[in-house]
Chain A
Amino acid sequence: MPLRRGIGVSSGVVIGDALVLETEESRVPRRIVPRDQIDHEVSLADRAFESARKEVADEREQFAARAGNELADIFGFHERWLGDVKPRKEIASLIRSKHYSSAYAISVFMRKYRRRFQEMGSPFLQERAKDIQDIERRLLHHVGGETRMELASLREPVIIVAHDLTPSELVALEKTKRLLGFATDAGGTTSHTAIIAAGLGIPAVVGLENITSHVSSGDTLVIDGLHGVVVVNPDESQRSTYAAEAKHLEEVRDTLAELTELAAETRDGVRINLLGNIEFPLEIDDCINRGAEGIGLFRTEFLFLEADPLPGEEDQYRAYCDAVTAVGDRPLVIRTMDLGGDKCHRGGGWEVEKNPFLGLRSIRYSLQNLSMFRSQLRAILRASVNGDVRVMFPLISRIMELRQAKFVLSLVMEELEEEGFEFKSDIPVGVMVETPAAAICARELARETDFMSIGTNDLIQYTLAVDRTNERVAQLYSPADPSILRLIRRVVKDADRSTTSISLCGEMAGDPLFAILLVGMGLRTLSMAAGNIPRTKKIIRSISLADAIRVRKRVMSFETEREVLNYLRDETRKVWDEI
């Protein structure tokens, strides 16, 4: 009956049985082995140390060649740690005295060891707990992988309750098709896991602080992702209310699922390209499954945000290749890192700015941190040989920035050519139109690009001068403001008069309220979170181009956001009553 409030990260309601995951390290099952197997377990542990050490040594060599000594040093430490006889001896004695399995002995020892660091006063030393965790993961992987990924063997549908989930755990759970939803102590709307959950459409509430201590496995839970509410052991009336809501949402989803194989085409045959927005390559499958015809926005900064150390060229190359493999021969638009503003990586070097959104962010940051930018462009270019890869520069506010970025790209191409790497020399180059300056000068930008994509989130914030995370003014933030609509219309017209293609990839693209209007404005490519693709397709398939143009004409005559919203709501309801 008790109701717990957190942050809803994806809409949807689900009722089910809870499965509480222990903290990560204790997910290695406590296993006692028979006496005659002890020698075997000790040698398993030894071998895990040895193969983990070799693996690190290999990685260190790769890093030393590409990323310099700093990173190689960190791996050098891991290598020496894994070569140390002391931890091996202690783990062997745990196995011999307590008959633990090698995996469990490793996890017990490492947990104890890691805790010593977490208790240390110096932040530099506390940080090392992360290295220890990394070493532990490697060891567990080599000892036979009895790790968290046992999650992949869920038998019954469950709601996962955990302190936190990593993106890879979430994806492993999703693949079992047994994950109903999840609730975590940690996390916020910008955590990777939350972003992926929203993309996958998994009902989830995060940031509950202490849900793990209030729920036991087997409890019945309601997850209301829309309102950010978790109900533990709901009473009869709560249960029936939520069950009705869940059933209704499921019916809607089923209707939409029938559309997956069908084209996003208006009744009179105008094709609209629906693409997916992603943060990590592992989200691509889900986009495709929901009908995306490619990826219109790969936000690469997420590869950097929580990474420590920062990904080098090789790490990025691997990530981009993974993405290319997942997307197949469909287009993949890779946006270069959009760091700064509210997205600062842990690598440091960030100065406190008075107005971070007007400061050193995005393409400006890239152009001032050329070694990072070049390694990203190298990785993108190298991956480009395998598919339809396109590169896009964010937050362009003047044509010189575009020219500089293209100049760096051409330098990197020369470099790669000299080094004998293959790449696509005619890779399409595009820009985000997300500053008023870029929107106003779109005609000029169009001449020097192959494509442009309107990023409404920033365009709205900069045009209306509203920070939507500031709750005192957030109500002033609206995609329906006439100024925004006129800017979008203007950019689309300018693009149509050029050879450059135009798309829209902000949150507005996935908002069903704007689907008809955007088609009426002339947009033929929309890129959005995977979860929004089906309903957008449903709306597009229910209208004709003539309808869309009529709606656009009417909307462009309004003077206030309110009129726009009311009108669009009425028009959308005519074809989609779930709005």
Chain B
Amino acid sequence: MHDNSNSVRVEVTISNRQGLHARPVMRFVDIAMKYECEIRVHKNDLTVDGKSPMEMMLLEAVQGTVLALEAIGDGGAEALNELAELIDGKFGED
């Protein structure tokens, strides 16, 4: 069981035109992997591992999808900051 006080959450909206396709997933996973903490990504009832490109692709996060990012463990807040920035910056696309 993880310590809830150690968990941080942030909501983001996918705004790039093509949504969370291969390249954005790759960028996301690359950042997530830099951190010690566990990263979970929630979309409605679906939760996937933010460090798994295989699972991330299944989010079907098209433009406009709202995702909740959750980090559990060391460096969580920092990780979420960087990930939210990536998403808000449309992954450098569009």
Residue positions of A touching B, CB distance < 8 A:
73-74, 76-77, 80-81, 84-87, 113, 116-117, 120-122, 124-125, 127-128, 131
Contacts and interface: CB of A to CB of B under 8 A. Distances in A.
Interface string B8-41: 0000000000110111011001100000000000
Contacts of B19: 122, 124-125
Interface stretch (B49-57, B66-74, B77-85): B49-57
Contacts of A120: 60
A86 B21 contact: no
Nearest to A90: B54
Given A122-B62, A125-B19, A125-B62, A86 B52 contact: yes
25 contacts: A73-B23, A73-B26, A74-B22, A76-B26, A77-B23, A77-B25, A80-B26, A80-B29, A80-B53, A81-B53, A81-B54, A81-B57, A84-B52, A85-B52, A86-B49, A86-B54, A86-B55, A121-B62, A122-B18, A122-B60, A124-B62, A125-B19, A125-B21, A125-B60, A128-B22
Contacts of B21: 124-125, 127-128
B54 A87 contact: yes
Given A80-B29, A125-B21, A116 B49 contact: no
Contacts of B49: 86
A80 B60 CA distance: 18
A84 B53 CA distance: 7
Nearest to B52: A86
Give chain A's interface secondary structure class: helix
Contacts of B22: 73-74, 77, 128, 131
A124 B60 CA distance: 10
Interface of B: 18-19, 21-23, 25-26, 29-30, 49, 52-55, 57-58, 60, 62
Given A120-B60, A124-B18, A77 B55 contact: no
Contacts of B25: 77
B39 to A, nearest CB: 13
B91 to A, nearest CB: 11
B85 to A, nearest CB: 20
Given A80-B30, A81-B54, A122-B60, 19 more contacts: A76-B26, A77-B23, A77-B26, A80-B26, A80-B29, A80-B53, A86-B49, A87-B54, A113-B54, A116-B58, A120-B60, A121-B60, A122-B19, A122-B62, A124-B18, A124-B21, A125-B57, A127-B21, A131-B22
Nearest to A73: B23
A128 B26 contact: no
Contacts of A122: 18-19, 60, 62
A122 to B, nearest CB: 5
B44 to A, nearest CB: 15
A73 B23 CA distance: 6
A241 B21 CA distance: 56
Contacts of B60: 120-122, 125
